[in-house]
Structure formats: structure tokens, C-alpha cells
């Protein structure tokens, strides 16, 4: 438009110009009617104005033509440049979208790989946790057996209520089971915590993977857009949308942080499994120790039962002999009492004879041979009675002691029977329910 020339266009009458032109070329004069009105025309152009008018028009047309040609050339160059620029820009945009798709696919694949690893680790840890829980549940049976054995043995009577080797082995068994349970509970807590961390990390990776999956689909759709696509339209780009967008470094850092977290939890899961391998060896050893301790307790029970059985047999034999001695002593007491009673008549006879002879008169009261014999007989009978009565007292005292011994033996035999019932019928019967090594290991 710089070459455009602005020229004022004066108003002129074309008919008047044409009329004047015909007059110059020798045209006939106007009719009288025209001449009659000549005095009333006041707006006629002069030839100079006429020439100036069309020359100005020609000049304007030339300027317009030049301006149009200039604009046309500039438009042609601009169309060519903008078309090339637009094609190049669109090509670059398509290329960048393709590179972006590759980046998203790479990160998405890495996320998916770690999601699979975390899922595998979590599944393995869940199986480990179930096995440990089964092993922990399995320890409840031997613990209940050992505690019940101690409780039953606390109901032993009298002298049998002793802290023997069986009780020592049972206490060792209880302590060993508690140690195993503490190890199992600690390991279960660690596994449960790691499972939760794995699940949280897996969920974060899945959210990131889902976002990248959606972004990949959108960018793939954008990459397929061409100038001939029918599903494109104009959309206004607002500043609010630009403010919500993240930059490339933060986008990369977000995914890298998730992957680092996944690496950390995977390593923790691996370390936990390695630790469990060690703990599994320890658990297997302690499980074997439990079975060995169970065998020790069973052996102690058998030995104790054998000792109690021997003691019971000896007590029963002694009880039988004591009963026989009681019977013999009772018969002896009866015999002694009869012997004492039997001495009553001879004693009365001898004493009566002495008494009667004491009434002999004067010199007849002589200590003769019969007198001496009677006196000796009375003394002998008295001595015999004293001896028999002392023997009777001793026999009765012995019988009393025998009765006390019988009662003590009977009570001790009852204690031994009660202890044997507790040991064999209660404790050893329950110990047959002791779980196997595989059960204690959680299989």
C-alpha cells in the first residue's frame, strides 16, 4: 500500500463532456430547445477539468494496479512461506508427539514391570504370612498341653507335690514355645508391614501407570490428526489450563520417585525373604528343639511313672504286710488278754491259800515248805501278770503304730495312684496330640 496514490476525484458531468467533444469534431449545433436552456446550466466542466479528471482516474487505476500486484506478490511469498512453516511446524509437532509417546511407553513399561514385581513379592509375602500364622497357631497346641500338664500336676497330693525332673522339662518346654511364638509374631508383624508398604507402592505405581496410559492414548490420537481429519475443531487455550500443567523435569521426577520407592520396597521384600530364610532355619531348628524337648518330657514322664509305679508296688506290698501284722498283733493282744485272764484263777487260789494259812493259830503259823511254795507261787504269778500286762501294753502300742502306718501307707498309695492317673491318663494321653515338625513349621 506504500505505492498507493490518493487523488481527489472532482465531480464532472460525462454528458457535458461528450457534448463538448462532438462540438469540437464539427458536430451539428444543438437544437433550439437545447440552446434555449443554455443560460440555465451553471455546473459544466472545462476541458482542463475533463483532462484532469480522467488522467487522475488513470493514475489512480495505475496505482491500484501496482498496489494489487505488490500485495499479490507478497501474498504469494507469504502463502509459500507460511505453508512451508505450517507443514514444518506440524511435522515437528508430530515428531515430538512420537518422541513423547516413546518416552511415555518406556516409563509405562518400566512402571508395569515394577508393578508385576511388587505383585509377585506381595503374593510371596502373603503365602509366607499364612504359613507363619499356621505355624503360630500350631504352637498353641503344645503350649496348651504343657500348661495343662503343669496345671494337672499341681493337683498332686501331699508328698507327691514335688518339683521333679518332669516339671523342670515342662517349664523348659513352655519357655521354648514362648520363644518360638515371639519369633513368629515378630516375623509376622514385619511381613504384614512390608505387605502394606508393597500394596501402597503398587497402588501409587498403578495410578501413575493409569495416567500414562490415558496420556499415551490421548497423544496417540493427537499424533494421528492430519489436515484431512474430520474430527478436529477450534478450541480456545486458556491461561488457567496452562497454569495447571507440570513441566518435564517435575514429570520425570514424579515417575522416578515412584520407581525409587518401588526399588526400595522390592529390596526390602527381598531382604525380608532372605531374613526369613535365616529365620526359617532358626524356626526349623527350634521346631526340632520342640520335638526333642517333647521327647525329653515324655521320657521324663515315663521315668517318673516307672518310679511312682515301683513306689506304689512297694507301698502296696508293705501295706499288705502291715495288714498282716495288724491282724497278727490283734490276735496276739487277744492271746495276751486271755493269758492274763487265765492267770486270775491260779492267782486267786494261791492268794486264798496264803490268806487261809495266815489264820493258823500260834505256833502253827509256821513258814514251812508249803508256805514258801505258796509265797513263791504268788510272786511268780504277779511277775507273770506284770510281764503279760507290759507285753499287752506294748502290743497295743504296736497295734496303734501299725494302724497309723496302715493309714499313712493307704494315703500314700492313694497319692501315688492319683499321681499315676494324672501322669499317665491325663498328661501322657494329651501329649499324644503334640503336633509334628511339619505342622509346627506351618505346612
- pLDDT band at residue 273 using 50, 70 and 90 as cut-offs: confident
221-237: average pLDDT = 83
State the pLDDT at residue 12: 43
Mean pLDDT of the chain: 83
Better-predicted residue by pLDDT, 340 or 2: 340
State the pLDDT at residue 79: 85
Three-state DSSP string of the chain = CCCCCCCCCCCCCHHHHHHHHHHHCCCCCCCHHHHHCHHHCCCCCCHHHHHHHHHHHHHHHHHHHHHHHHHHHHHHHHHHHHHHHHHHHHHHHHHHHHHHHHHHHHHHHHHHHHHHHHHHHHHHHHHHHHHHHHHHHHHHHHHHHHHHHHHHHCCCCHHHCCCCHHHHHHHHHHHHHHHHHHHHHHHHHHHHHHHHHHHHHHHHHHHHHHHHHHHHHHHHHHHHCCCCCCCCCCCCCCHHHHHCCCCHHHHHHHHHHHHHHHHHHHHHHHHHHHHHHHHHHHHHHHHHHHHHHHHHHHHHHHHHHHHHHHHHHHHHHHHHHHHHHHHHHHHHHHHHHHHHHHCHHHHHHHHHHHHHHCCCCHHHCCCCHHHHHHHHHHHHHHHHHHHHHHHHHHHHHHHHHHHHHHHHHHHHHHHHHHHHHHHHHHHHHHHHHCCCHHHHCCC
State the pLDDT at residue 284: 75
Region of poorest pLDDT, from 223-227, 234-238, 301-305? 234-238
CA distance 67 to 62: 9
Contacting residues for 43 by C-beta, under 8 A, at least 6 apart: 13
Residue with cell 513349621: 441
State the pLDDT at residue 295: 85
State the pLDDT at residue 282: 67
pLDDT > 60? residue 433: yes
State the pLDDT at residue 11: 43
State the pLDDT at residue 26: 46
State the pLDDT at residue 278: 61
Better-predicted residue by pLDDT, 239 or 277: 277
pLDDT > 90? residue 110: yes
Q: pLDDT > 70: what percent of the chain? A: 86
Better-predicted residue by pLDDT, 10 or 347: 347
Region of poorest pLDDT, from 13-17, 29-33, 110-114, 270-274? 13-17
Amino acid at each position: 500500500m506504500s505505492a498507493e496514490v490518493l487523488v481527489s476525484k472532482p465531480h464532472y458531468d460525462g454528458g457535458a463532456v461528450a457534448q463538448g467533444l462532438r462540438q469540437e469534431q464539427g458536430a451539428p449545433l444543438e437544437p433550439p430547445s437545447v440552446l434555449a436552456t443554455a443560460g440555465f446550466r451553471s455546473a459544466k466542466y472545462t476541458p482542463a477539468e475533463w483532462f484532469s479528471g480522467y488522467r487522475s482516474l488513470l493514475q489512480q487505476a495505475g496505482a491500484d494496479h501496482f498496489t494489487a500486484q505488490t500485495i499479490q506478490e507478497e501474498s504469494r511469498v507469504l502463502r509459500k512461506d507460511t505453508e512451508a512453516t505450517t507443514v514444518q511446524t506440524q511435522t515437528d509437532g508430530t515428531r515430538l508427539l512420537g518422541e513423547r509417546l516413546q518416552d511415555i511407553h518406556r516409563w509405562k513399561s518400566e512402571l508395569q514391570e515394577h508393578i508385576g514385581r511388587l505383585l509377585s513379592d506381595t503374593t510371596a509375602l502373603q503365602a509366607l504370612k499364612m504359613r507363619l500364622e499356621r505355624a503360630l497357631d500350631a504352637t498353641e497346641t503344645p503350649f496348651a498341653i504343657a500348661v495343662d500338664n503343669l496345671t494337672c500336676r499341681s493337683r498332686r497330693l501331699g508328698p507327691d507335690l514335688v518339683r521333679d525332673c518332669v516339671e523342670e522339662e515342662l517349664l523348659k518346654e513352655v519357655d521354648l514355645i514362648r520363644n518360638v511364638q515371639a519369633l513368629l509374631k515378630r516375623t509376622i508383624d514385619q511381613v504384614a508391614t512390608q505387605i502394606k508398604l508393597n500394596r501402597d507402592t503398587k497402588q501409587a505405581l498403578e495410578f501413575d501407570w493409569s495416567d500414562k496410559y490415558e496420556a499415551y492414548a490421548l497423544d496417540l490420537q493427537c499424533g494421528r490428526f492430519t489436515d484431512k481429519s474430520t474430527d478436529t475443531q477450534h478450541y480456545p487455550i486458556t491461561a488457567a489450563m496452562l497454569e495447571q500443567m507440570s513441566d518435564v523435569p517435575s514429570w520425570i521426577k514424579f515417575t522416578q520417585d515412584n520407581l525409587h520407592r518401588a526399588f526400595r520396597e522390592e529390596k526390602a521384600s527381598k531382604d525380608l525373604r532372605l531374613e526369613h530364610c535365616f529365620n526359617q532355619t532358626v524356626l526349623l531348628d527350634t521346631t526340632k528343639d520342640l520335638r526333642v524337648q517333647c521327647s525329653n518330657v515324655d521320657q521324663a514322664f515315663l521315668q517318673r511313672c516307672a518310679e511312682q509305679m515301683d513306689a506304689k508296688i512297694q507301698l502296696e506290698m508293705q501295706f499288705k504286710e502291715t495288714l498282716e501284722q495288724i491282724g497278727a498283733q490283734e490276735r496276739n493282744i487277744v492271746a495276751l488278754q486271755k493269758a492274763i485272764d487265765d492267770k486270775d484263777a491260779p492267782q486267786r487260789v494261791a492268794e486264798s491259800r496264803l490268806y487261809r494259812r495266815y489264820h493258823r493259830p500260834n505256833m502253827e503259823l509256821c513258814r514251812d515248805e508249803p508256805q514258801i511254795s505258796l509265797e513263791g507261787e504268788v510272786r511268780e504269778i504277779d511277775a507273770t501278770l506284770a510281764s503279760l500286762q507290759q507285753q499287752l501294753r506294748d502290743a497295743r502300742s504296736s497295734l496303734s503304730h501299725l494302724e497309723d502306718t496302715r493309714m499313712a501307707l493307704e494315703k500314700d498309695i492313694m497319692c501315688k495312684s492319683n499321681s499315676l492317673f494324672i501322669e499317665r491318663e491325663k498328661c501322657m494321653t494329651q501329649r499324644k496330640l503334640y503336633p509334628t515338625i511339619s505342622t509346627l513349621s506351618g505346612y
